[in-house]
Structure 1
Amino acid sequence: MDAIAAPGTLFARLREDARSSWEAYIAHPFVAGLTDGSLPEAAFRRYLTQDYLFLIHFARAYGLAVVKHATLEDMRGAAATLDALLNHEMRLHVQFCAEWGIGEAEMEAEAEAEETMAYTRYVLERGLAGDVLDLEVALAPCVIGYAEIGARMTADPRLKREGNRYDAWRAMYAGDEFQAIAAEAIARLDRLGGARGAEARFPMLARTFDEACRLEARFWQMGLEAARGAP
């Protein structure tokens, strides 16, 4: 299902170039377990705790985007996203985790997994070493990928809704609000790409996107490995 981005957009081209890594990420066994409800709870709990730490660095990335953007309009957009992450998304995540019996103090005390550090520091490195287009491309698998995952899960005949504790997660990312966030990210990539020479830079941008997809897949795998080691 590729309807989330029209053919010819920068995102669609990046996704196609990294098709193998992209599919390994969005069709990962972790996602399959969320869809049919078979994912071990230990895997999801590990994911939730590390995702809290991930969101902190995600917010830092948008703080960097404010610095990197050239126009006041784009700076305001990045600042609005930063505010939403710190003052809305983090609060929602804490509330969601509380339903799983995971407190904020517990998440704050958790050590960062290597997989969390690998992806978040990679995103920040791309933004620091490059420009805002490099940063947005590194972020795209997360922002847009979760929207495509939510949409795919919804369309999957294996989806279990009744009695599936993970279905609330799917509904959040398949919902209109997050789908609109992803649509704006796709449009922003096109706008930035046109202004910052994406065509000439495409090979490097594609490498960044592919690496980010592989790091996202490792984040899912982290959860599965935690479940395998659970008593």
Structure 2
Amino acid sequence: MAAITYTLPFAPGKFIDYLVSRPDVAGVWKQHTEHVFLERLADGTLPIEAFQYYLIQDYLYLIQFARANSLAGYKSKNLDDIVRSAEIVLHINREMSLHLSYCAEFGLSKEDILEVEESQACTAYTRFVLDTGASDDWLALQVALAPCLIGYGVIAKRLHADPNTLREGNRYWKWIQNYAADDYAEAVELGIALLDKHAQKISPSRIEELVKIFIHATKMEAGFWDMGYAKI
């Protein structure tokens, strides 16, 4: 019996490029990465109350993000991927320490943050990711996590390079710098490479299943910005 062969719709190293350029993805990806919350953050006109609420919810999100990456370690089938998941959790822990230091500049303590209830947007997003990880495979979970990891890198790189972004006197410039920094860019590149490595082994029908997960998670990311902007 002859083996079934098929050609993937993307070249090696281009899985994410393929994803975000698809017509069914491009629109929601733009809503996430070019949201009005981000534009007002870049020009310094975002009200501080909106940003503070976002910071609080982002910290609560990161707790669940760490859980999801711990789950990814459990779902992994080789030691390299298990170690990679553990490294990501440790990176998140360091990011959360920096997050608390940043929050302190806005008058927010860890106790203040933990007293706040998760927003519906935060709960819906994080539980979608965790449910995907629990009910599907390792790759599906990574795809559900990708709009956050990769999206923040894309956002920061764009805003950092944009001459219209206000630097002097913009209290949010440091946020942009944090996600445009080399260590975050490296994490994004590693995440993309890992996704691409596993995407080379899947069937066209599986690609379509993963695209649906990516779209839904990206909509959840845009909903997170909506949540912050609603405080204006």
TM superposition score normalised by structure 2: 0.92
Question: Over aligned residue pairs, what C-alpha RMSD do you find?
Answer: 1.4
5+ residue gaps, structure 1, are: 1-5
Q: Distance in 1 between the 2:163 and 2:96 partners?
A: 31
Q: Distance in 2 between the 1:223 and 1:49 partners?
A: 10
Q: Confirm whether residue 22 of structure 1 aligns to residue 26 of structure 2.
A: no
* Alignment partner, residue 59 of structure 1: 66
Give deviations 1:1-39, integer Å, cap 9, x for gaps: xxxxx9961111111120000001100000101111111
Residues 62 and 92, structure 2, Cα contact 8 Å, conserved in 1: yes
Residues 13 and 193, structure 2, Cα contact 8 Å, conserved in 1: no
Residue of structure 1 aligned with 2:45, choices 33, 38, 50: 38
Residue of structure 2 aligned with 1:216, choices 207, 221, 226: 221
Q: Confirm whether residue 179 of structure 1 aligns to residue 178 of structure 2.
A: no
Residues 74 and 101 of structure 1, relative CA distance in 2, 3 Å threshold = same
Residue of structure 2 aligned with 1:206, choices 206, 211, 220: 211
Q: Distance in 2 between the 1:223 and 1:43 partners?
A: 5
* Alignment partner, residue 3 of structure 1: none
Q: Distance in 2 between the 1:61 and 1:35 partners?
A: 30
Residues 90 and 111 of structure 1, relative CA distance in 2, 3 Å threshold = same
Q: Confirm whether residue 13 of structure 1 aligns to residue 18 of structure 2.
A: yes
* Alignment partner, residue 138 of structure 1: 144
Give deviations 1:17-70, integer Å, cap 9, x for gaps: 200000011000001011111111111001000001000000000110111111
Residue of structure 2 aligned with 1:85, choices 81, 92, 96: 92
Task: Output the amino acid matched with 1:181.
Answer: A
Residues 193 and 199, structure 1, Cα contact 8 Å, conserved in 2: no
Detail structure 1 runs of 4+ shifted over 2 Å in the superposition. Answer: none
Q: Equivalent residue of 2:163, what SS?
A: coil
Residues 223 and 198 of structure 1, relative CA distance in 2, 3 Å threshold = farther
Q: Distance in 2 between the 1:222 and 1:58 partners?
A: 18
Q: Distance in 1 between the 2:219 and 2:12 partners?
A: 23
Residues 7 and 148 of structure 1, relative CA distance in 2, 3 Å threshold = farther
Residues 13 and 196, structure 2, Cα contact 8 Å, conserved in 1: no
**Percent of aligned positions that are identical:** 40
Residues 188 and 8 of structure 1, relative CA distance in 2, 3 Å threshold = closer
Compute the displacement of 1:193 (Å). Answer: 1.4
Q: Distance in 2 between the 1:22 and 1:8 partners?
A: 19
Larger Cα Rg: Structure 1 or Structure 2? 2
Q: Equivalent residue of 2:54, what SS?
A: helix
